Every structure is written in C-alpha cells, then in structure tokens.
Amino acid sequence: MGYTQLHVSPTLLFSGLSTPFDEADFVLLGVPFDATSTYRPGSRFGPLAIREASENLEAYSLRTGLDLEEEVRLCDLGDLNVLGSVEGTLDRLGTVVGEVVGAGKFPVILGGEHTITYGVVRALGDGVAVLSFDAHMDLRDEYLGSRLSHATFMRRLTELIGPRNIMEVGVRAISREELEFAETNGLRYITGREVIDREGIADIVGAFLSDHKRVYLTVDMDVIDPSYAPAVGNPFPEGMSPTTLLDILHNVWNDVMVGFDLVEVSPLYDGGQTAIQAAHIVHEVLSIAESIKG
Ligand code: MN
Ligand code: MN
C-alpha cells in the first residue's frame, strides 16, 4: 500500500478506465475545440464535463449485460493539444486518430464542436461511410464566411467520401438549400419526426450499414431533445429521446462500425443533465460495441 492508494486521487479518466494503450480495444480522446461555434460556444469544456459525469455512472449495462469496468478495455488518452486554427487542429487530430486506427484500436472521440468529425473521417482513409445523428444537416456550402465549420463540415465530407456514403438521422433544423442538396445528390436522411412517428427506422439505418464495409458513427448531442440535453451549441426542439437513439444503435450495430464521436456538449448551459446523458450514451455505445465484438 503506497502513495497511489492512500495519498493521491487519480487523474480524471473516462469512467476511471485505464487499460494501457497496447492492451486496449478502445481508445478515447477528447478534443476541446470550439473555435468555429456560432451560437453558444463552450463545447471545448465538453470532454471534461463528460468525463466528470462518467465517474458517477454504473458500469453495468442492462441493455447488453456487460460491465464496462470488467469487460471493456478502454484507454483514455486525455485531450488533444488543440490549436486556434481549424486546419491545424484537424491535422493534429488526424495524426492521433491515424495512430490509434493503425494500431488496430477503435477510436472514441469526445468533442468539442462537430467540425472535428471531418478530421477524424479524413484520417480513417478510403472507403469509410458516415452515419450521423444530428438535428442539423451541417450541409451548407458556406456559413458566416467560413467553408469549414460546424455548419458546413458535412458538405466538405460529401466532397471527401461522396454524398451516397452518408446517412443523417434525426434532422429537423435544416435549410431548403441543404434539403435540396441532399435530394439531388442521394444523401440519405431521416427526419426527427420520422424517427418519432415511423416504425422500422432501425431497418432503414441497418440497410445503410449493410451497403458499406466500414462505417463511422457521429452523434451531435443536439439530435436529442433539449428537454433531455439542453446544453448544446445549437439546441432545437422536437428531438428524439436518448432511449430511442440507443435502441436504434443497439439494433443495428455490427462489425462494420469502425469508430465514433459524440460532439457539441456545451456544459456552461448545463445543470449537469446533458453531460450525464452524453456520458451514458458513450457508456452504452462502448458496451454495445464490445457485445458485438464478442
Ligand atoms: Mn452537427
Ligand atoms: Mn447539430
């Protein structure tokens, strides 16, 4: 019994999980970057708030019957050293993600703003498709003078991986320009209202997965209704519940999934509930991914 047990508290790690990198299956990285945020900045504090909330969650998942602490080997790398510029930050992010994926690990990225997804997907290489849960389409060609921001990164992704390799679920805060772009270019989307009203949403998402060999998941926290998750950069009413999101993912998840991120938690607007919802979503996705891995 030495100082490690008695005299110091451990550094904050996601759920206290500290598998060494070499032995880990999952590698978590925070990206405290929100430089292009336009309405409510502050998602740079997201990784810290989500880690803090994660400490208070039970490790056992009723959904999968797995215990995160005992059965999920996750290494929390800490946070990326971000820069002030978008491009510089995305390059650094790409370097780290490239190493994680090159070592055969499953990357789990905590935002930060949604633009970071562009840097991750770029690092994943050819042939990757993107499944996005977001109130927004983020498909504008330009927004407030910027061509690479949280409101336009998905348009840049269509140029990188092709619009037919993207599915957006839960969209409801959209412009006519974005909708027309999606329709014209074969980008698949499911509206927030369809998720609430229609049967068989998981089947539609599952069909998208079966069309692809590698799929990256991105969850913009604003896909969840603001009554559950108010502390996001751009809240928008009439969203889905966390249970709906997780049940869809549990239904469709298979071995084509190659990584995921959760972005846009802006904890300064929170009483803690958004951070706890976000931490729980990460918990459950990890547990779902582990249960498929077998
Ligand atoms: Mn977004
Ligand atoms: Mn959004």
Helix, strand, coil in percent for the chain, rounding step 5: 45, 20, 35
| Greater model confidence, 5 or 203 | 203
| Residues 166-198: tens digit of each pLDDT | 999 999 999 999 999 999 999 999 999 999 999
% of the chain exceeding 90 in pLDDT: 90
Average pLDDT, the chain: 96
Residues 269 and 292: their CA atoms lie apart, in Å, by 35
CA–centroid distance, residue 135 to ligand 2 (Å): 5
User: Strand locations in the chain, DSSP E?
Assistant: 26-31, 74-79, 106-111, 128-133, 166-171, 188-191, 214-220, 257-263
Taking alpha carbons only, the member of 154, 100, 147 closest to residue 124 is 100
Q: Are the beta carbons of 163 and 128 closer than 8 angstroms?
A: no
CA–centroid distance, residue 19 to ligand 2 (Å): 32
pLDDT at residue 20 above 70?
yes
Rounded to a whole number of angstroms, the distance between the first and last alpha carbons of the chain is: 35
Positive or negative: CA dihedral 185, 187, 188, 190:
negative
Sequence letter at residue 69 = E
Average pLDDT of span 92-118: 98
Instruction: With H, G, I as helix, E, B as strand and everything else as coil, classify residue 209.
Output: helix
pTM over 0.85: yes
CA–centroid distance, residue 44 to ligand 2 (Å): 15
pLDDT at residue 3 above 90?
no
Residues whose Cβ atom is located within 5 A of ion ligand 2: 134-136, 220, 222
pLDDT at residue 14 above 80?
yes
Ligand with an atom nearest the CA of residue 40: 2
H or E element at residue 291: helix 273-293
CA–centroid distance, residue 19 to ligand 1 (Å): 31
pLDDT at 294: 59
Rg (CA), the chain: 18
Ligand with an atom nearest the CA of residue 132: 1
- For the record, the structure tokens of 21 come out as 């990198």
| Greater model confidence, 49 or 2 | 49
% of the chain exceeding 70 in pLDDT: 99
pLDDT at 5: 73
- For the record, the structure tokens of 141 come out as 């060609």
Q: How confident is the model at residue 1 (pLDDT cuts 50, 70, 90)?
A: low
Average pLDDT of span 151-177: 97
Residues 97 and 119: their CA atoms lie apart, in Å, by 9
H or E element at residue 50: helix 46-54
